[in-house]
């Protein structure tokens, strides 16, 4: 279904932008502060609402599934080759339990940004204008959204949550075997010619929700692109070398 393809593409683009923003923001902050530890702390503070949402989603999901979460930490800490902005220690469980806990921040973050984009910003009208190539209308809708009462504050929350909700490497680890198992089961189901009606009904049921979330992703992508372009131009002006 087109809505699934649009959802996956928007999610992948948002994940890529999140990574690029993190790199460029760190580069800019490090150039200004000349201090690695201070750079990490400033990045953490910038994304604090999203970091709290990320770790809280892990904790709530683990608690709900009986995995006894502990050691809730919301503070940057070096972890091998990267910096972790927070963590939650949970008891080992079954593959499906660990997968839900790992995906909880993405699910919670997607719901929150869909709520903000739907009720604070007119994300569906914005994405519809883009899809119909009404460029002037899309720019007007975006501009009016940010100029609405508390629009900048809500845009910041949207930015912080969206760019801190992506699963880390440890979050994604249990998803690989679950993904291959799911593909195998679905492949065998279709191979034996079993009815596709349950899948069709499920997709039709999920379609409105996926459409709303995709619209929110598209609005957030536009916001991220503007911020990324602004940071890139600022770096070009004040730094001796471009960010990589």
CA–chain centroid gap for 231, Å, is: 20
Q: Where are the domains of the chain?
A: 2-33+106-238
Distance of alpha carbon 95 from alpha carbon 210, whole angstroms: 25
- The pairing of strands 77-79 and 82-84 is antiparallel
**SS3 call for 145:** helix
**Strands, DSSP E only, in 52-186?**
70-73, 77-79, 82-84, 87-89
pTM above 0.75, yes or no: yes
Residues in the chain: 244
- Band of the pLDDT at 224, cuts 50, 70, 90? very high
Distance of alpha carbon 165 from alpha carbon 220, whole angstroms: 13
Q: How do residues 30-62 score in pLDDT, each as one tens digit? A: 999 999 889 999 999 999 999 999 999 999 999
Mean confidence (pLDDT) of the chain: 88
Nearest of 198, 176, 177 to residue 189 by alpha carbon: 198
* pLDDT computed for residue 1 by the predictor: 64
Distance of alpha carbon 154 from alpha carbon 158, whole angstroms: 6
* pLDDT computed for residue 206 by the predictor: 83
Q: How do residues 163-194 score in pLDDT, each as one tens digit? A: 999 988 888 887 777 777 777 877 777 677 76
- Band of the pLDDT at 240, cuts 50, 70, 90? low
């Amino acid at each position: 279904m087109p809505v699934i393809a649009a959802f996956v593409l928007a999610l992948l683009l948002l994940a890529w932008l999140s990574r690029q923003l993190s790199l460029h923001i760190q580069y800019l902050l490090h150039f200004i502060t000349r201090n690695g530890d201070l750079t990490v702390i400033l990045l953490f503070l910038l994304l604090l609402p999203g970091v709290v949402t990320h770790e809280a989603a892990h904790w709530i999901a683990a608690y709900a599934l009986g995995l006894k979460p502990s050691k809730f930490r919301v503070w940057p800490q070096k972890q091998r080759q990267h910096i972790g902005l927070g963590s939650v220690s949970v008891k080992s469980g079954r593959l499906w339990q660990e997968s839900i806990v790992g995906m909880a921040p993405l699910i919670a973050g997607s719901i929150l940004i869909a709520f903000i984009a739907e009720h604070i910003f007119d994300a569906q009208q914005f994405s519809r204008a883009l899809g119909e190539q009404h460029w002037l209308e899309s720019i007007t809708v975006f501009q009016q959204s940010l100029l609405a009462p508390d629009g900048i504050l809500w845009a910041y929350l949207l930015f912080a949550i969206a760019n801190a909700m992506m699963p880390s490497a440890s979050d994604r680890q249990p998803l690989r075997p679950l993904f291959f198992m799911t593909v195998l089961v679905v492949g065998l189901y279709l191979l034996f010619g079993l009815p596709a009606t349950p899948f069709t009904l499920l997709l039709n049921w999920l379609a409105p929700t996926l459409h709303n979330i995709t619209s929110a992703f598209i609005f957030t992508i536009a916001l991220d692109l503007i911020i990324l372009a602004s940071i890139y131009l600022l770096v070009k002006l004040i730094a001796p070398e471009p960010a990589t």
